[in-house]
A and B are shown apart, each in its own frame.
Chain A
């Protein structure tokens, strides 16, 4: 019971932080970055359910993100559908599609699974570029409307900030519930020993496909939010590089950690902005920082912070002991 309460307390603190943050960081540019942190958090969270919990890699998640964005974008910009309905359709289509694709793909393990999902992402990317009649091809799709409730339109940075973080918070709450349930335990069990999980009655194959579909569907919702926030999408945002970046967010943040996904997404979104000062050398510094972090925080930020804190505490304790 105490565990439950501390879990809820943590969540409330996060929600308050998110609520207050724009009042401190209200400058337009900063707010824009925070909107991206929100979108990336949903994506990292989605991928972490698959990669961190079930232990199944996907190098194609930028593709699902893009599918969500394009389906939502085309349905609203070209066919004038209500954006909320478009979002619902995008999420449903991507969930069903990935469920069907998941059965053959998730039979594969390790490097082969990485290759197959990479291929999936690349195929989707090619479709964005080549289906010019629908997607506008490489020059992109514009004129996507903002989401709105009645006459209240999410058309400013601050409104989008609260919209996207509301979605992110809901995703976090639902994911927390999931990972602390029999399904969450089954996912981690598959990760640790698939054969033992099966003997205990876990249908590993179906479970993997289900979580793959859930993860893809959640990414599609993030895509839809992205499209309606930016009002413009182009294939460049959904390439292989971004899939790798998502995997990096999950690993840097902490595998199998819900809040870690947030930290990873925040760091990898904010860091490139901070490194602008290094101009042409930014990518080198960025790479170095990632290497150092994986070396010294192999458990990711989520575990690295408490580790670092306890390290400092013991150091501090040792130093102060002669005085005492």
Chain B
């Protein structure tokens, strides 16, 4: 369970987020929507420790993770994908997913250089787990390709496989459907549901309303850094304030 309490983020004189509170309940898909500049990506950057917030706090299963640096969060089960997919372009598809297992392995520089038996065993485990996640995302046939050579849609699937290799309890996805065509978006929806069915809490920022209304259990609406509404897809669709914000009515 991910809980955000009274989060405020200012950059100089600009307030990107003000007093935002919400809870992403365990095993549900929570959508975060809002017009451009609503603070959705900023929200993700604060939660994942890339920015440190001006005030407020973030809690993961009741533990305060507000001041924990980004690289420590993976081990705690929180991971994210990026709006403009951030792959390791010079590594193969398989290696990208293997990197996802970094926080679940521990061999140091010396044991790696000396090929100690526990390192060899660990490496075998990493490789086997990684191929399972490739299979889960349906990109096994691409495993030897360089990540930079993947088409955008496949890159997105790879990013998800890599994130899942971390074994997250919370997966944050920043606009997963951006740049995807209809059939790819459909494929993505199936994959996200599969992830939820594994018990992973999903929080996603998304502009594709059809996708959001289709797969989200709960929706949070942000506008100009403030919370506008929260509820089920049906409640959100019927909320006059949300309709006004989207259609620009006063």
B240 contacts the other chain (Cβ, under 8 Å)? no
CA distance in complex: A188, B95 (Å): 10
Q: Could you tell me which residues of chain A, from 196 to 210, have a CB within 8 Å of some CB in chain B?
A: 196-204, 210
CB distance from A290 to the nearest CB of B (A): 24
| B interface, CB within 8 angstroms of A | 48, 50, 69-75, 79-80, 82, 86-91, 95, 98-103, 105, 107-109, 112-115, 119, 122-123, 126, 162, 166
Chain A residues whose CB sits within 8 angstroms of the CB of B50 once the complex forms? 195, 199
Q: Could you tell me which residues of chain A, from 157 to 205, have a CB within 8 Å of some CB in chain B?
A: 174-175, 177-178, 181-186, 188-189, 191-193, 195-204
- Chain B residue nearest to A204 in the complex (CB): B71
Give which listed residue, B71, B86, B98, B113, contacts A185 with CB less than 8 A: B98
CB distance from A219 to the nearest CB of B (A): 16
Mostly helix, strand, loop or mixed at chain A's interface?
Answer: helix
CB distance from A64 to the nearest CB of B (A): 17
Whether the Cβ atoms of B88 and A182 lie closer than 8 Å is no
Whether the Cβ atoms of B82 and A177 lie closer than 8 Å is no
Whether the Cβ atoms of B90 and A186 lie closer than 8 Å is no
Chain B residues whose CB sits within 8 angstroms of the CB of A193 once the complex forms? 86-89
Give which listed residue, B74, B95, B119, contacts A199 with CB less than 8 A: B74
CA distance in complex: A193, B89 (Å): 9
CA distance in complex: A201, B168 (Å): 12
Given contacts A178-B112, A182-B123, A201 and B102 within 8 Å (CB-CB): yes
CA distance in complex: A195, B108 (Å): 21
- Chain A residue nearest to B95 in the complex (CB): A185
Whether the Cβ atoms of A192 and B105 lie closer than 8 Å is no
Give which listed residue, A185, A192, A201, A210, contacts B74 with CB less than 8 A: A201
CA distance in complex: A184, B79 (Å): 21
Chain B residues whose CB sits within 8 angstroms of the CB of A188 once the complex forms? 88, 90-91, 95
Q: What is the total number of residues of chain A having a CB less than 8 Å from a CB of chain B?
A: 29
List 16 extra interface pairs beyond A174-B113, A186-B102, A191-B90, CB under 8 A: A177-B112, A177-B115, A181-B123, A182-B101, A182-B102, A182-B126, A185-B99, A185-B102, A186-B99, A189-B88, A195-B86, A196-B82, A200-B74, A200-B99, A204-B71, A211-B109
Whether the Cβ atoms of A184 and B112 lie closer than 8 Å is yes
| Residue among B50, B82, B90, B119 with most chain A CB within 10 A | B90
- Chain B residue nearest to A174 in the complex (CB): B113
CA distance in complex: A183, B113 (Å): 9
Residue-wise, chain A 246-284 has the 8 Å CB interface mask toward B (1 for contact) of: 000000000010000000000000000000000000000
CB distance from B187 to the nearest CB of A (A): 22
